[in-house]
Amino acid sequence: MIISNDLILIGKKAKEAARKLAFTSTGAKNSALSAMAQALVDNQEEILSANSLDLQAAEEKGLRKSLINRLRLSPEAIMEMSNAIHEITKLPDPVGGGEFWTRPNGLRIQKTRVPLGVVAMIYEARPNVTVDAAVLCLKSGNACILRGGSEAIESNKALARIISDAVENSGLPQGSIQLIHKTEREYAAQLMRMNKYIDVIIPRGGEGLIKTVIENSTVPVIETGTGVCHAFVDKDADIAKAVSIVFNAKTQKPGVCNALETLLVHQDVAQNYLEIMGDKFKNGGVEIRGCDRVQDILDYAVPASEEDWGTEYLDLIISSKVVTDMEEALDHIYKYSTKHSEIIITENYSSAQRFLNEVDAAAVLVNASTRFTDGGRFGFGAEIGISTQKLHARGPMALPELTTIKYVIYGDGHIVE
């Protein structure tokens, strides 16, 4: 595949910037981050004006309401982004940390953390990802190349220009943060072949985007996963807790990967629980797609198809099934889970421990909403994505996950006998 000259130029700039960022001091990086945070506030009107163009285009295209909500920025959202950057300046710099030991022959070995290099992000819809990715990459000493979706292009252009200018004005290298303005698929395809300039690609978006990157990239990929997240209401659940947790997990922000998509209910509590939960969902505008037993209890539930059990709705829709016991719940999760986040709601310690031990997912929760699977709520400041793979990083990916290992060896004339 022929790589376009403009992408090659972006790659070269990023590579050169990464070389310098790798040994940039924590103080210099934090100073640039603070400048980025202030620049967002100072340029709020420009950002909101650009965002209004994206929102108008989205409405004209007839995009789903949930997707439009993901696109929407506000003065409060911009202030939240600014505050999140300030929080990241307070976090430890992962670069340079590690272990140190001395061998019996006096050889000293240090296992130290170093930046990945150039990180490319291919993502959809949410313009805040532009800022999150840039901030985390900069703090961890990486240059980043950002390729957002067409639906957020005006917002992304404004955000990227503002924060990259702030970084360069702070004395950090040009090319530390770059946005690809062209949103045609061919440019994403070329980006996936830029092994000479890019060290890792992180896709963030829907199943189709992630699958495309995994199947077509020759650059190493850190897979962030779709979220077919389940909640299992055990026979020993506190019903009030179960109603509150499930409603929050589904409706607090339905268009994100850690929103709940499937509700499994133990048969012993199904009648009582589903009547209460169903009313709350109905009043909250949530469509329930249920098995035969759920439909028997809730006459307004629509039949769930086989496809529903594996669907990430990202909308006010939930699939629901009554199960005979935990074994059936575990089997269902094993079959349909995307290994993102899974909940059990129970007051039984043994049941909770069994669920925690047997469910294979990046995050497994007891009596807490799936919405807690988030870098900010874990105390990481922000996240560049939630990894559902098992190599290098898993779960919310923050600063440490954007570094790798280098061994530094100190000798004094040591040779191998």
SS3 of residue 305 by DSSP: coil
- Residue 186 burial (CB count, 10 A): 10
- Mind listing the pLDDT tens digit of every residue in the chain (417 residues)? 788 999 999 999 999 999 999 999 999 999 999 999 999 999 999 999 999 999 999 999 988 887 888 899 999 999 999 999 999 999 999 999 889 999 999 999 999 999 999 999 999 878 999 999 999 999 999 999 999 999 999 999 999 999 999 999 999 999 999 999 998 989 999 999 999 999 999 998 877 888 899 999 999 998 887 889 999 999 999 999 999 999 999 999 888 889 999 999 999 999 999 999 999 999 999 999 999 999 999 999 999 999 999 999 989 999 999 999 999 999 999 999 999 999 999 999 999 999 999 999 999 999 999 999 988 888 887 788 888 887 778 888 889 999 999 999 999 999 898
Residues of the chain with CATH 3.40.605.10: 5-223+389-410
Rounded CA-CA distance 394/377 in Å is 16
Rounded CA-CA distance 162/45 in Å is 12
Beta bridge partners of 202: 121
Q: How long is the chain?
A: 417
Rounded CA-CA distance 123/117 in Å is 19
> Which residue is listed with tokens 């990464």?
18
249 with 369: CB under 8 angstroms? Answer: yes
Query: Rounded to a whole number, what is the largest CA-CA distance in the chain?
Result: 81
Rounded CA-CA distance 377/185 in Å is 34
**Residue pLDDT, tens place only, 240-277:** 999 999 999 999 988 888 999 999 999 999 999 999 99
- Tell me whether residue 283 is exposed, middle or buried, using C-beta atoms within 10 angstroms of its C-beta: 0 to 12, 13 to 18, 19 or more: exposed
- Residue 205 burial (CB count, 10 A): 21
In Å, what is the CA distance from 153 to each residue of 9, 14, 18, 323?
Answer: 20, 21, 25, 45
- Provide CB contacts within 8 A for 191, sequence distance 6+: 7, 120, 122, 145, 147, 180, 198, 201
Residues of the chain with CATH 3.40.309.10: 229-372
Rounded CA-CA distance 387/167 in Å is 28
CATH number of 229-372: 3.40.309.10
CATH label, 5-223+389-410, candidates 3.40.605.10, 3.30.70.1140, 2.40.70.10, 3.40.50.10140: 3.40.605.10
Enter the pTM of the model: 0.86
**Residue pLDDT, tens place only, 31-59:** 999 999 999 999 999 999 999 999 999 99
